[in-house]
Each structure stands twice: as C-alpha cells, then as structure tokens.
Amino acid sequence: MKIDLKRGLWRAVRGTAAIEFAVLAPALLTVAYGVYEFGRMAWTLEALQESATQGARCAGIKQTSCETGGAFSSSATATYIQGVATGWGLTIPSADITATGSTTCAGVSGFAQVQISYVFNTTVANLLPSLANGATLTVKSCYPVNSS
C-alpha cells in the first residue's frame, strides 16, 4: 500500500503551475522592478541634463532670467534651473547647482557652465542596503557666452 501512495504522489500534477509560479515569481518581479528603477534613473538623468543645458544657455545668451542688474547671477541661474527641473517633476536644492558665468570648457575659454549633482534615491534601498544612501548623478553643460 505504501508503494501505491508513492507512485500516486509522483504522478500527481494538480497544483504544479502554482508551485512553479511561486518559485519563479520572485525572480521575475525582481527583474521587472529593476528595469523600472533603471528606467526611472535614466529619465531623471535626462531631466537633469536638460535642466543643466537650459541653465547654461540662459547664462550664455545673457537672458534676463539669469541676470541681476544686467550681470550674470549664479543664484538667479540656479532659480531658473530649478524652474526647468520642476517642469520635469524634479526638485533640485540650490546647493546642488553650480553655475559659472565665464569659464573654460574642454580647454576653450568663454563659456557659461552649469553643473548639477543630484542624489537619486531608489525605492529598492530596503532590498539593497548598498543603495541606501542613493546614487549621485552628476551632469554638466557648457554654452558659449554671448559677447554682445
């Protein structure tokens, strides 16, 4: 009688799909969530780069949004960049923005430069303790200063 019971257990197929799903689901969900987080980080990087590019352009063409009293203002430029980033749904602290009115980029002088360092906080920090402090994304953009 014991032999029949063992044969019956090995031949039973009811519930195998549920067991296979239970074994594979954590791996599949982890991959799907990783793809989502990577896409979110890439989108954030694109938003930061666009904000830096617009800020450098604003300073380079001497747009009134980036000037105070007719002269370049790093704080006005930072405020402009924060406005651009808000349009992307990001909040960038002023301390993370470095705007320079006239500097050298790639060995060529006469450029306005904006650099943004942003801490990207992932929602998987609880799963991966190494990401608990966030990843720092840094972007830089230069634009020639309008001499007229």
Percent of the chain residues past pLDDT 90, beyond the cut: 54
Q: For residue 124, what pLDDT is reported?
A: 73
Q: For the whole model, what pTM was predicted?
A: 0.80
Higher pLDDT: 20 or 50? It is 50
For residues 86 and 80, give the distance between their C-alpha atoms in angstroms, rounded to a whole number. Answer: 10
Provide the pLDDT for residue 3: 57
- Is the pLDDT assigned to residue 103 strictly greater than 80? yes
User: What dihedral angle (degrees, nearest 10) is formed by the CA atoms of 46, 52, 56, 59?
Assistant: 130
Q: Is the distance from CB of 46 to CB of 64 less than 8 angstroms?
A: no
pLDDT in tens, 118-128: 998 887 766 66
d(CA 120, CA 30): 19
CA 144 to chain centre: 26
> In this model, does residue 148 exceed pLDDT 80?
no
Q: pLDDT-derived band of residue 138, with 50, 70 and 90 as boundaries?
A: very high
